[in-house]
């Protein structure tokens, strides 16, 4: 059944676990997440970016998620708008039936310019006002996602800035976070702690100098009732990179956010963990392997099946690792 994000995250907080929020764009990804959740008894957050809505078309995204609810009526499910760039985008998602929206006011509506604090407060507050009347949950973002190795903002996936930033801009300030939540009354807060979107997050396995997991503790101490969200949380498994490269891919050496660090983050108060890249890597590795080993095959179902299965395995692992087993 469709539930609000607030309901799921409140349960996660009360029971000290975290919920992976998986980005979906097509049928097989929706099926993979649902099958994984069903096998382990996990609650589900399906999120669609503006890119997803553009790729699939709004009615397809809406009805793919509706189909998931119809096929798995026993699983509590949140339909979430990822990185809404303006109140209008969030309103559009609500009209489409989303039960949760992210107003990402860390950047201006162009998705590139670093927004002022006042702008962020203003647009986020606007979205909270319209969403809460309808029982829709709101996620906001304070601080700009980006790399503490290069001190660059995160623009790889088309909704970030490539500006050079200070360490302070790349880390959410706990005092400011407390003020932001007080002024906006949002439900969930995405924080910047050194993660970035996409496959190329770190050039080495991250330590505290480039991934500031400890910062979460300070933010959570000031905001014990706000659910914290970690974007850019793919782990970029080395075996998936190796598989892609073994079967004709050309991906450079790179590291993601280690699962142990996410588990620490969950202990420190993170409840929603955004994952897209790991599913992309899993599906690409599986398709490359299948087609390399079966050059005579041409039925799309035959190569989509292993891709869907590989995505399911990643989702299942994250559900278990983040403590979701049996929580639905």
Active centre residues (catalytic): 82
User: b or e along 171-193 (b: 16 or more beta carbons within 10 Å of the residue's beta carbon)?
Assistant: bbbbebbeebbebbebbbbbbbb
Which residues in 213-252 contact Zn ion (CB under 5 A)?
A: 231
* CB closer to Na ion, 122 vs 309: 122
Give me 188's structure tokens.
């969930």
For position 226 contacting ligand G3H by CB under 6 A, the verdict is no
What spatial distance separates the first Cα and last Cα of the chain, rounded to whole Å? 11
Contact flag: residue 53 with ligand G3H (CB under 6 A): no
Partner from ligand G3H, ligand 13P, Zn ion, none binding residue 233, C-beta < 5-8 Å depending on class: ligand 13P
At 115, is the secondary structure helix, strand, or coil? Answer: coil
Dist. CA 311–CA 294, nearest whole Å: 20
Is 124 flagged in the annotation as binding? no
Positions in 171-200 near ligand 13P (CB under 6 A): 197-198
Using only the alpha carbons of the chain, give its radius of gyration.
19
Shortest separation between residue 161's beta carbon and Na ion, angstroms: 8
Whether residue 56 contacts residue 303, with contact meaning beta carbons closer than 8 Å, is answered with no
Tokens in use for 251?
């991906």
x/- track of binding to ligand G3H for residues 159-198 (CB under 6 A) = x-------------------------------------x-
For residues 244 and 207, give the distance between their C-alpha atoms in angstroms, rounded to a whole number: 26
Binding site for ligand 13P (CB under 6 A): 23, 82-83, 197-198, 231-234, 274-277
Binding site feature residues for Zn(2+): 83, 104, 141, 197, 231
Binding site for ligand G3H (CB under 6 A): 23, 49, 51-52, 82-83, 157-159, 197, 276
Binding site feature residues: 83, 104, 141, 197-198, 231-234, 274-277
């Amino acid at each position: 059944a469709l539930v609000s994000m607030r309901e799921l995250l409140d349960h996660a907080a009360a029971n000290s676990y975290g919920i992976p929020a998986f980005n979906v764009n097509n049928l097989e990804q929706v099926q993979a997440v649902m099958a994984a959740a069903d096998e382990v008894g996990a609650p589900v957050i399906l999120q669609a970016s503006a890119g997803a809505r553009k790729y699939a078309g709004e009615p397809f995204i809406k009805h793919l998620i509706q189909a998931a609810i119809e096929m798995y009526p026993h699983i509590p499910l949140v339909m979430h708008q990822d990185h809404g760039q303006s109140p209008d985008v969030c309103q559009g998602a609500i009209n489409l039936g989303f039960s949760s929206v992210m107003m990402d006011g860390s950047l201006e509506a162009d998705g590139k310019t670093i927004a002022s604090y006042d702008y962020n407060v203003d647009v986020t507050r606007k979205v909270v006002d319209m969403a809460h009347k309808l029982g829709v949950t709101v996620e906001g973002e304070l601080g700009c996602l980006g790399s503490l190795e290069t001190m660059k903002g995160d623009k790889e996936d088309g909704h970030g800035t490539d500006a050079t930033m200070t360490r302070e801009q790349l880390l959410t300030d706990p005092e400011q976070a407390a003020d932001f939540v007080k002024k906006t009354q949002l439900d969930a807060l995405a924080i910047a702690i050194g993660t970035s979107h996409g496959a190329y997050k770190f050039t080495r396995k991250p330590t505290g100098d480039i991934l500031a997991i400890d910062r979460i503790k300070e933010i959570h101490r000031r905001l014990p009732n706000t659910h914290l969200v970690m974007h850019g949380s793919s782990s970029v498994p080395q075996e998936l990179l190796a598989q892609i490269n073994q079967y004709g891919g050309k991906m450079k050496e790179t590291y993601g956010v280690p699962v142990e660090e996410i588990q620490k983050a969950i202990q420190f108060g993170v409840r929603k963990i955004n994952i897209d890249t790991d599913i992309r890597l899993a599906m690409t590795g599986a398709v490359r392997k299948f087609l390399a080993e079966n050059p005579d095959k041409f039925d799309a179902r035959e190569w989509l099946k292993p891709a869907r299965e590989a995505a399911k395995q990643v989702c299942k692992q994250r559900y278990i690792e983040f403590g979701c087993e049996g929580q639905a």
